[in-house]
Structure 1
Amino acid sequence: MLCSLFGDDEEGYVTCSESDAFLGKRNGNPLSVSPPRPRLDCNMAGIENQGATCYLNSLLQTLLYTPEFREALFQIPKEELGSLEDRDKPGSKVRVIPLQLQRLFTRLLLADKQSVSTRELTDSFGWNGNEQHQQHDVQELSRILFSAISDSLAGTSGQNLITNLYHGIIDNQITCSECGTCSGREEDFLDLALTISGYDGLESTLSRYYQETESLDGGNQYQCGKCQKLVDAKKGARLKKLPPILTVSLLRFSYDFYKMERYKEVGEFAFPLELDMAPYMDKVGINRDDEVYELFSVVIHQGSAHGGHYHAYIRDIDNLGTWCSPEKIHLEPSKENQQAAVQKLDTPFELLEAILLDHENKAISADKLSMAIISQTGKSWKKIFGKYGQLTKFIKKHDDVFIFNESKSTIQLKKGYSISNKISDRPIETSQPSASKDLPNDSPPTNGLPKPGNCWYDYNDSRVSPITVKSLESQFKGKESAYMLFYRRKNLKRPEEGLLMFF
C-alpha cells in the first residue's frame, strides 16, 4: 500500500516530491541542481519550511509519530479515498487531504532525504502563495486541520478517525444548595485549553479547572428551576470522557488592558511525563488504567506574542529512528555532518549568503531571516554568532555586503557581491564550538541508551536531532517554552514485532 504512493511521470522523473530537484525541469529547461541531502544519522526526516510554516511542520510531525493516527490513516481503503489522478475528472470523488497526508507520511518514513516538502499538502488546503509566508497559531491550526480531515473522510470507514482518537466530554454542573438539584451541560473538546497565568504546573491548573467549585451567591445567585427562585449554588466542571490521545493547549498569550497590547506568559509551568487524570473525572472508569497518560510530544513556541518560531520535542514510540547521545553528536560527528557544519557555521557571512540567495531578489525581512537561521542550523543567531552582536547591528555594520531597508525592515544582499569569493579578505575569528558548552549537563554516559520507545528527538523544520528527557525541563519557562502537550494512554501498548530496533 505504501509503495503505491510513489509514482513516475511520463518522462521517467520521480514524482515523490514536487521539488525541482526531483522533477528535473522548470519551464521545460533542464535544471542544474544537486541531489537532496540524505537523512541525518538519527534516520529521521525533517520537513522543509515554506517560509513561515514551522507551526504546520510541528503539528504534522506529531501526527506522524502518533501511532494510532498514522495507522488509522493508512488503513482507509484506497477505493474509498479515490485517486489523485482523477481529481479533475467530472463526478469523481477524491479525498485529497487524506491522500496527500498519506503521501507525505510515506516520504517522511521511507524517502532517503534529510527533509521533505509539504507543498502538495498545502495546495490541497487551498492555500495561496501568501499563506506559506504568514505564521498562524498552532492551536488554531490543530482544530482547523482536524475539522478538514473529518470533512474529507465523511462517508468513509475513517470518518470517525478524529473523534475516536481526540474527542472528549466536559460535564459542567451547577448544584442548588437548597434542593440539591444538579443541572449540567456537556461540552465537547478536542483539546483542553488551560490558562497558565498564576499556576506553577499542569496538575495545579487541572485541579483548579476540574476539582474546585465556584460559589454562586450574593448578587450572583442561581435561578433554580425546581425551587423557582434565586438560590445559592455551587458551579464546577468535571471530565466525563477522555480520549486515547489527550491534547492540552497552554494559553501563554494574554492581553494587557492597561498597555493595550498582547504579551506572552514566560513564567515557569511544569508538566509531568506521566499524568493521572482520575482526580479530575466525574466518575472513574472501570478500567483505572484508562485515566493514566504518558507524554509523547511537546510543541514549543520560541519568541514573543507578536511572532516567533515553532518546533517539537517528540518521543519515538515505535523506535523508528536511531538515537545516540547528544554528547556523541558534538564529540564524534560523522565526516559528512562535520563538513556540512563547517560549511554552514564557519562564518556568519557564509550562512547569511546561503539564506539570502534562496529568496527572491536575494532579500528577506529581518524576522524571517532569524527564523531561517534557526531552520537551517537548529540554533538561533545569538547561540551561534552571539560574539558578533545582534543580527541587525551586524547587518548594518557590514553595509558593503548587505543592504538594510529601515522602513521595510528588509535585508538584501548587494548585487554582484559574492561573500564566498571575498571571505578570505575578511579577518574573522573562527573557532570550533566547545563540546562542554553545547552539551546538556544531563547527558547519559556514552554507553547509556533510553529504553525502546523512550527516545526523544527535536523536530526543527528540516533538522531532526536526538535529545535527552532532561531537555524537556528547559521548556517549562522562558521565551522558548511549551505551547501544546500531547499525552497518550499508557495502556495503549505497541506490538513488539512492530518495533524497529536500531540500537
Structure 2
Amino acid sequence: MLEGLFGEEDLTSSRISEPSKPGIQSPPRPRYQCGLAGISNQGATCYLNSLLQTLLYTPEFRESLFDLTEDELGSFDSNDIPGKKVRVIPLQLQKLFTRLLLSNQQSISTTELTDSFGWNNKEELQQHDVQELNRILFSAVEASLVGTSGKDLIKRLYHGTLVNQIICSVCGKVSEREEDYLDLTLTVTGNNSLEEALYGSFVDMESMDGKNQYKCESCNKLVNAKKGAKLRSLPEILSISFLRFSFDYQKMERYKEEHSSEYELFSVVIHKGGAYGGHYHAFIKDVDSLGKWIHPDEETIQLPTDPSTGEVDYIEVDSPVELIQAILVRNHVLTIDKLCAEISKQTGVSWNKRFRKNFGPIVKFLEKNHDVFVFDPGSNRVSLRNSTKMKADEEQNSLTTTAEPRIKRPQSPIPMPGQAWFNFDDSRVSPIREKEIEKQYQGKESAYMLFYRRKTLTRPKEAEGNPAYKVPDNLVTDIIIENDELSRKSGSSDKAIIMSVNSKFHKLICIINSQTYKSTSNLTDTSERAQDYYACITAL
C-alpha cells in the first residue's frame, strides 16, 4: 500500500507553493496553555502527525537523533559542495523536533519533512495506515543513517526477535525459524483485553492433526504436532498494533472490529471511523514533563482572530469542540437547528460537510462530549456545561459563561512528574485524564497502536522540564531567531510573552552548555548572549 512512499533523498522540492491569501495575514497562534505544540494537518496527514508526536516524546529516539552532528549528517548549506552527502530526512526530523519543542507556535508544519520524503499533494491528501507508515519510515531513517554513529538507532530501540516453532508430538523435535519484528501484531476478534491477545498469540499453540498433520524429518512421516510463535527477545521500545480491520466475504467489504509488567505504556495511537476512512490522533505520556498539565475543564481555549477586524475568525477554528464553545459563549443556549445554522453562518460550511466524516452527526458528537456540553433531547437545546474560558489571540481578557447550576465534581489530582497524559490531535494539544485511555480498547474510536518503554529506561534529572535538553546549539539559535520574528509579527501585546519564552530557552542553553563543557572558555556565543538577554527580560 505504501510502496514507494519515500523517494530518494533530494534537497529539491517538488511542491508547488500555494499563492498566499490576499489581505493581512494572521500571525501564527502561540502555544496552548499546556505549553506543547501540535502539528498542522496537510489534508489527510493525521496518521503521520500521530506517529511523529509519538517519536518526539520517545526520549531515547529524540536524543539519539539529536546526538547526530552536522559532520555526520551534512547540512542544507553544503548541498553545492561536490562529494558532500546530505542526509535530508534526519536533518528535517531534527529541525521539526526542535520547532515542536521550542518554537512559540500552536502548531508546526511538516511540509519540509514530507518534501524530503518526495511526497506530492496527492500523498498528503490520501490517508494511509499508521502501522505500515511506521515500518516504512523506520526503513527510510535506517537507510539515511548508514555510515553514521546512528546506523543502529532503529535496531537498538525497536527491533525484537520472535521464533516460529513446530514441535513433533512423537519424537519431540523442535523446528524453529527466527524473524525480526518492529512491532507485534495482535488480533482483536475473540479477545477482550491486551493480555488475552498476547496469550493467544505467543503462549497458546495450534494443533496440527488430521488433514493438517506435519511431516517430521526425524520420524520421516506425517505426525501430529504443535505450532506456535514465541518471543525470544524484546526491544527497548515495544510497539503493538491491533488488527482491527477484517473482510466480510458476504458483503465483500472491509469492516472494523469493535470489540503490571516490565514495560509501561507511553503512547496510544487511536483511530476513529471505519475501514475506509477516519481520523488518527494520539494519547502520549509526557515522560520528561515538558508540558503543563491542567485540569481539562479549566483549560483556556485560544481562538484565532481576524487581524483586520479583531473579531474571532471562526473559519480558522479547526477543532469542532472549540468552534461550538466559541458560538455558545456568545449565544449561551441554542437549539440544534440554530447551532447548525450558526456554524454555517460563521464558517461558510455546514457541520456535515466540514466535520461529519471524522466526528459523526452533531447530536452524537455533543452526547459524546458530555463533559463539555449539556444536550437536552426533550427541548433539543445545547449549552456549555462549565464556565469555559475563551482567549482570543490579540487580548488577555477572556469571555465566560456558565451553564445550568450543578454539583461540581471533585477534581482528580494533578499527575506526578512524568505521568501526565496529553491528547495530540493534529494542531490541537490538550491534557487528558489517564482513565480516558482505559476506554480505548473497543468501539469506533479505539487504540490502533500501542508503544511501551522498558521501566529500566531512566531519565536524567537535567531532562525534566527542559525542552532544549540535547538539542544542538545551532538549531536552538535558529529557533531564537524564529521566535524573535514571531514577536515582531504578533505585535507589542504578545511581544513580552514570546520574549519570555525565548529567555527561558536561552537560559536552558546556558545550563546545558555549563554541564556539557568543563570550562567557561568553551561556552558558545549563544550562551553568552543568553545571560544578557535573560537579564534584560527579567527587568521588564
Give the TM-score normalised by structure 2. 0.68
Q: Identity over the aligned pairs, expressed in percent?
A: 53
Question: Which residue does the alignment assign to 2:462?
Answer: 497
User: What CA distance in whole angstroms lies between the structure 1 residues aligned with 2:297 and 2:191?
Assistant: 34
User: What CA distance in whole angstroms lies between the structure 1 residues aligned with 2:118 and 2:283?
Assistant: 29
Matched, 1:245 2:237: yes
Note the residue ranges of structure 2 that are not aligned, 5 or more in a row.
1-14, 306-310, 313-321, 328-338, 388-401, 468-540
> What secondary structure sits across from 2:268 in the alignment?
strand
Matched, 1:56 2:8: no
Question: Which residue does the alignment assign to 1:78?
Answer: 70
Report deviation, 1:345.
3.4
**1:310 is matched with which residue: 269, 274, 280?**
280
User: What CA distance in whole angstroms lies between the structure 2 residues aligned with 1:104 and 1:442?
Assistant: 41
With over 3 angstroms needed to count, the CA separation of the structure-2 counterparts of 1:190 and 1:115, relative to structure 1, is: same
Deviations 1:345-381 (A, max 9, x none): 315456556766xxxxxx899676546889xxxx789
Report deviation, 1:213.
1.2
User: What CA distance in whole angstroms lies between the structure 2 residues aligned with 1:381 and 1:115?
Assistant: 28
User: What CA distance in whole angstroms lies between the structure 1 residues aligned with 2:41 and 2:386?
Assistant: 29
With over 3 angstroms needed to count, the CA separation of the structure-2 counterparts of 1:429 and 1:180, relative to structure 1, is: closer
Question: Which residue does the alignment assign to 1:402?
Answer: none
User: What CA distance in whole angstroms lies between the structure 1 residues aligned with 2:431 and 2:373?
Assistant: 23
User: What CA distance in whole angstroms lies between the structure 1 residues aligned with 2:31 and 2:273?
Assistant: 28
User: What CA distance in whole angstroms lies between the structure 2 residues aligned with 1:107 and 1:260?
Assistant: 45
> What secondary structure sits across from 1:87 in the alignment?
helix
User: What CA distance in whole angstroms lies between the structure 1 residues aligned with 2:28 and 2:251?
Assistant: 48
**2:430 is matched with which residue: 432, 448, 465?**
465
Deviations 1:202-253 (A, max 9, x none): 1111111111111222221211112222222211211001001000001111
> What secondary structure sits across from 1:451 in the alignment?
coil
> What secondary structure sits across from 1:296 in the alignment?
strand
Residue identity matched to 2:118: G
Residue identity matched to 1:210: F
Kept in 1: contact 2:242–2:448 (CA 8 A): yes
Name whichever of 66-75 and 232-241 sits farther off: 232-241
Residue identity matched to 2:106: Q
> What secondary structure sits across from 2:456 in the alignment?
coil
Deviations 1:264-323 (A, max 9, x none): 0112xxxxxx4x3xxxxxxxxxxxxxxx10000000001111100111000000000000
**1:445 is matched with which residue: 400, 404, 411?**
411
Deviations 1:133-163 (A, max 9, x none): 1111111111111111111111111111111
Deviations 1:422-480 (A, max 9, x none): xxxxxx98743456999xx998626x211111000001111100001111122122111
Matched, 1:101 2:82: no
Report deviation, 1:178.
2.1
Matched, 1:185 2:177: yes
**1:200 is matched with which residue: 177, 180, 192?**
192
> What secondary structure sits across from 1:483 in the alignment?
strand
Kept in 1: contact 2:188–2:244 (CA 8 A): yes
User: What CA distance in whole angstroms lies between the structure 2 residues aligned with 1:437 and 1:190?
Assistant: 49
Residue identity matched to 2:464: L
Kept in 1: contact 2:254–2:275 (CA 8 A): yes
Report deviation, 1:32.
2.4
> What secondary structure sits across from 2:384 in the alignment?
coil
**1:167 is matched with which residue: 159, 174, 185?**
159
Residue identity matched to 1:185: R
Question: Which residue does the alignment assign to 1:327?
Answer: 297
Name whichever of 88-97 and 39-48 sits farther off: 88-97
User: What CA distance in whole angstroms lies between the structure 2 residues aligned with 1:33 and 1:155?
Assistant: 44
With over 3 angstroms needed to count, the CA separation of the structure-2 counterparts of 1:364 and 1:81, relative to structure 1, is: farther
User: What CA distance in whole angstroms lies between the structure 2 residues aligned with 1:108 and 1:263?
Assistant: 35
User: What CA distance in whole angstroms lies between the structure 2 residues aligned with 1:382 and 1:257?
Assistant: 32
With over 3 angstroms needed to count, the CA separation of the structure-2 counterparts of 1:364 and 1:126, relative to structure 1, is: farther
**2:326 is matched with which residue: 307, 332, 345?**
345
Residue identity matched to 2:190: G
Counting only pairs closer than 5 Å after superposition, residues 7-22 of structure 1 correspond to structure 2 as: none
Question: Which residue does the alignment assign to 2:84?
Answer: 92
Note the residue ranges of structure 1 that are not aligned, 5 or more in a row.
1-17, 268-273, 277-291, 357-362, 390-427
**1:143 is matched with which residue: 131, 135, 141?**
135
With over 3 angstroms needed to count, the CA separation of the structure-2 counterparts of 1:204 and 1:483, relative to structure 1, is: same
**2:126 is matched with which residue: 114, 118, 134?**
134
RMSD (CA atoms):
3.6
User: What CA distance in whole angstroms lies between the structure 2 residues aligned with 1:371 and 1:91?
Assistant: 49
User: What CA distance in whole angstroms lies between the structure 2 residues aligned with 1:472 and 1:33?
Assistant: 38
With over 3 angstroms needed to count, the CA separation of the structure-2 counterparts of 1:200 and 1:30, relative to structure 1, is: closer
User: What CA distance in whole angstroms lies between the structure 1 residues aligned with 2:141 and 2:105?
Assistant: 27
Kept in 2: contact 1:167–1:242 (CA 8 A): yes
> What secondary structure sits across from 1:301 in the alignment?
strand
User: What CA distance in whole angstroms lies between the structure 1 residues aligned with 2:326 and 2:144?
Assistant: 44
Kept in 2: contact 1:373–1:381 (CA 8 A): no
Equivalenced residue count is: 404
Kept in 1: contact 2:269–2:450 (CA 8 A): yes
With over 3 angstroms needed to count, the CA separation of the structure-2 counterparts of 1:117 and 1:258, relative to structure 1, is: same
Deviations 1:104-133 (A, max 9, x none): 000000001110100000001100111111
Residue identity matched to 2:445: E
User: What CA distance in whole angstroms lies between the structure 2 residues aligned with 1:459 and 1:302?
Assistant: 14
